[in-house]
Chain A
Amino acid sequence: MIEIKKFVGFAATTLLVSLNHASAQDDVLVLDDDVQFDGDFTFDDDLFGAAFDEDSSANTSSWLDGFTIKISQQFSGQVNNHSVDIAPGFSLPRKADLETNRLGANIRYQNAFAPGWLLRASGQIRSYWKDDYEYEAAGDKIDIEYRVNEFFLQRSFGQHSLKFGRQTVVWGETVGNSVLDVINTAEFRDFNIIDIEDARLNQTMLVWDYFGENSNFSSFVNIYPEFNPAAVRGSPFFFEPQFNLTDYDRDSSMLFEAGTQWRRSFEGSDISFMAAYLYENQLRYEDPANLIGDAVAETNDFFLLGFSANRAIGKLLLNFDLAYSHDVLADSFSFPGTASLANPVNLKKDQIGTSMGFEYAISNEQSVSLGIQAQMLLDEDEGLLPGQSLINDGVFGSWLVRYSNTLMNSDLVISSTLQGDLAANSLLALVGADYTINDNWAVGGQIINITSNEESPLLFFAEDVRLSATITYSF
């Protein structure tokens, strides 16, 4: 509870500091919003005159200019003391607890070091302080973690561009939950990261782009496919498995992924067709032989055919994605101890999925977007043994609504997200505010509330109220 108080204190202090910083200078009369400007008023642009005094020839470039560094301190936690009834007569206590207390640095570097050549690298370092779950998982010691995100070399010549190294490939138009956004793996480690854009992980790939006169091709080969990492011990998503979840044993086979996308823009619309040979990002875990040792991670390869399109009509942007997947596992989200004889094992199916939605600009400051993702296994009963059923039968998927309001000339962005599954078993509601104090400093806060019934895996987080606060310095 003391930690929660500290956290709330930090959030309040951060807000006060930022508001104080943003307050008007003492000798300037701040005007009311409803002030009338009838007739003339005096203004001269001398306060921006320094811009014209700049000697542009004096600009000198340095390789250090390519660095962008963002340092942030983040607190987050679950603040609602409650319990969850997960079975008749059995409830799980959920105490208010600080989950993250971490200082991080995101470093990005880009350098076009020669004509047609570019090096880009980005990475992050995290230091986990007292009361962070990583601190506790490390035996109550300050833990430091680093990760390379992007790291690629690019060569562009004529109508071609080649990129080799760690990077992301994003397919699909629907922002947030596209059925085609399956090339890169993702890690949802904490509840304060719920957007796929923030959770996407880079992989080592060769990407070849061909920019034609009217259309573009983009192809990739991934010679070291990676998989969604297992939940980190201590994180909200971690549960104690019956057997250790290990990475895939690569000694047994050579893995690769490849795909290509053709894209063309028309007036008011963009369309794409794509095809790929991929591995499912989620490993399937089976119990070890004789129930001794670690769980056995299994991969599954499949083919993907896709189509995506958008259409802008004034302030409305319509998005549509269509995916046909051949040979996906019917029960790929299987963990040791959670599967039963009632579920089929290694049963491959074809799947059709679509994600569609719209973004609408209510005004220059406000926008609302809706995305719906729906998937269905084809011939779902075929191959099932008597008494077996699929974990996902019929149409399954999710929906997502976002609203954002930009205030104070973009200094303050208030956003809210509602996310749920099509079966209406769970609902995740998020309200966030991000305030830019100046070119370097920014603060942000989030409140997340989770509602779930017993049909959803989010049941363990039902009635959670989660707060987070972040202060960021960029330079």
Chain B
Amino acid sequence: MHGKLLSKGLVSLVAALFLIPLQSIAQDLSGREIMEKLEDNRRATSNSALSRMQLSTCKFGVREGKITCAERPRVKSLESVGKGYGADLKDTRSVAILLDPPAERGIGMLSFIYDEGARDNETWLYLSALGRVKRIASGSSDDETEPGSLFGSEFTTEDQDTGKLDEYEINLLEETTESGREVWKIETIPNAERARKSRYSRSVLYVDKERFVELRIEMYDQYGKEIKRMLGARVELMNGIWVARSTTIMNLVTNRLSNMAFLEMHTGIDVPDEFLTQRTLTDAAFRETELEKLRAQID
């Protein structure tokens, strides 16, 4: 018992020693630096990572004063593999494959997300009806899904974008609390070039000061009206990275919400470069074999 107490005390001491300087450093960070750390954390969740997620989408309403689903949510499950590239691994390549529902099983999306503002992100989609891989122009849509969004959910590729911070004016507004946590309230405003490609004229982020995770983001249109709100919850340490395991985005115009639940996230996976190519979309034998190898690394 004494040994246990001692070890707990040691752990606490080490944690305190570790956290105290982190807190004091954190106090001095600029809005830009906070955003960089936030993005580093975001990228870490997709760098050499294999994740399994569940996407639930529904129209929302109010019951007993609380926002809730007004219909049975539509649920999609998917598996995603990602890896960092380029300088400081700030570019991300990822493949997401739908596992469910059956009618959409096997639809895959390959995305190259570039940190540099001048480079447009690239997306390819494999649709069995077309029988080939189709490059998707940013925000383009078609019959089976909405590539501007993640598999028809309220999560858009823009909401998941990283980098391009040079194209934003970043203001640290205040320090406050959100969901019982101390947070920075940060405003990001796109410059003229980015604004042409963005749905949002301004975003306000509430970033957990200790974990560098967004607990809330408000997104405004060009008229200053809040059109979307994102809420992060169930923040947990997964493989050494703080992750909001449950992220809900509400579209306040259409009154639809989507929840992304991280069921599994494994980092430090050795992802071969050839897996993050168009071959993974078209060559199902290759894809399944490589996925088995990736899953085996977890076991």
Shortest Cβ gap from A439 to chain B (Å): 4
Q: Determine whether the beta carbon of B284 is less than 8 Å from that of A154.
A: yes
Contact among B59, B146, B148, B274 for A211, CB-based, below 8 A: B274
Contact among B65, B68, B254, B278 for A47, CB-based, below 8 A: B68
Residues of B within 8 A of A198 (CB): 129
Shortest Cβ gap from B22 to chain A (Å): 28
Q: Determine whether the beta carbon of B254 is less than 8 Å from that of A409.
A: yes
Shortest Cβ gap from A300 to chain B (Å): 25
Q: Determine whether the beta carbon of B153 is less than 8 Å from that of A409.
A: yes
Q: Determine whether the beta carbon of A438 is less than 8 Å from that of B72.
A: yes
Q: Does any Cβ of B come within 8 Å of A42's Cβ?
A: yes
Residues of A within 8 A of B100 (CB): 439
Q: Determine whether the beta carbon of B70 is less than 8 Å from that of A361.
A: no
Residues of A within 8 A of B70 (CB): 24-25, 28, 30
Residue of B nearest to A37 (CB): B252
A156 and B289 in contact (CB under 8 A), knowing A364-B141, A404-B142?
yes
Q: Determine whether the beta carbon of A33 is less than 8 Å from that of B255.
A: yes
Shortest Cβ gap from A235 to chain B (Å): 22
Q: Determine whether the beta carbon of A31 is less than 8 Å from that of B61.
A: yes
Residues of B within 8 A of A438 (CB): 72, 74
- Identify which of residues 2-49 in chain A touch chain B, using a CB-to-CB cut-off of 8 Å: 22-25, 27-31, 33, 35-38, 41-45, 47-48
Residues of A within 8 A of B149 (CB): 364, 410
Residue of A nearest to B236 (CB): A52
The 0/1 profile, CB within 8 Å of B marked 1, for residues 155-181 of chain A is 110010100000011100001000000
Shortest Cβ gap from A129 to chain B (Å): 24
Shortest Cβ gap from A138 to chain B (Å): 30
Residues of A within 8 A of B259 (CB): 45, 48
A364 and B148 in contact (CB under 8 A), knowing A37-B229, A314-B197?
yes
Residues of A within 8 A of B252 (CB): 35, 37
- Identify which of residues 317-337 in chain A touch chain B, using a CB-to-CB cut-off of 8 Å: 317
Q: Does any Cβ of A come within 8 Å of B71's Cβ?
A: yes
Residues of A within 8 A of B73 (CB): 47-48
Contact among B65, B199, B285 for A42, CB-based, below 8 A: B65
Q: Does any Cβ of B come within 8 Å of A355's Cβ?
A: no
- Identify which of residues 163-192 in chain B touch chain A, using a CB-to-CB cut-off of 8 Å: none
Contact among A30, A265, A442 for B59, CB-based, below 8 A: A30
Residues of A within 8 A of B136 (CB): 312, 317
Residues of A within 8 A of B52 (CB): 56
Q: Does any Cβ of A come within 8 Å of B54's Cβ?
A: yes
Residues of A within 8 A of B80 (CB): none
Q: Determine whether the beta carbon of A409 is less than 8 Å from that of B263.
A: no
Q: Determine whether the beta carbon of A211 is less than 8 Å from that of B277.
A: yes
**Interface residues on chain B, number (Cβ under 8 Å):** 87
Q: Does any Cβ of A come within 8 Å of B101's Cβ?
A: yes
- Among B63, B65, B139, B154, the most chain A Cβ lie within 10 Å of the Cβ of B139
Residues of A within 8 A of B212 (CB): none
Residue of B nearest to A367 (CB): B141
Q: Determine whether the beta carbon of A112 is less than 8 Å from that of B234.
A: no
Q: Does any Cβ of A come within 8 Å of B62's Cβ?
A: yes
Give the CA-CA distance A117 to B286 in the complex, in Å.
8
Q: Does any Cβ of B come within 8 Å of A60's Cβ?
A: no
A-B contact pairs, 29 of them (CB 8 A): A24-B71, A28-B70, A29-B63, A44-B233, A45-B231, A47-B68, A48-B246, A52-B261, A52-B263, A56-B52, A68-B102, A110-B284, A118-B284, A170-B130, A170-B132, A200-B131, A211-B283, A216-B279, A267-B119, A312-B138, A313-B137, A314-B196, A315-B137, A317-B135, A317-B136, A367-B140, A404-B143, A410-B149, A438-B74
- Residues of chain B having any CB pair with chain A under 8 Å: 52, 54, 56-57, 59-63, 65-75, 100-103, 105-106, 119-120, 122, 129-132, 134-143, 145-146, 148-149, 152-154, 156, 196-197, 199, 225-226, 229, 231, 233-234, 245-246, 248, 250-256, 258-259, 261, 263-264, 274, 277-279, 282-286, 288-289, 292
State the 6 A-B residue pairs at the shortest beta-carbon distance, nearest first.
Answer: A112-B288, A410-B152, A364-B148, A118-B285, A317-B137, A361-B139
- 12 more contacts with CB within 8 A, not counting A41-B67, A45-B248, A156-B283, are A24-B71, A38-B226, A43-B67, A43-B231, A48-B56, A51-B263, A156-B285, A169-B131, A361-B139, A365-B146, A408-B256, A436-B74
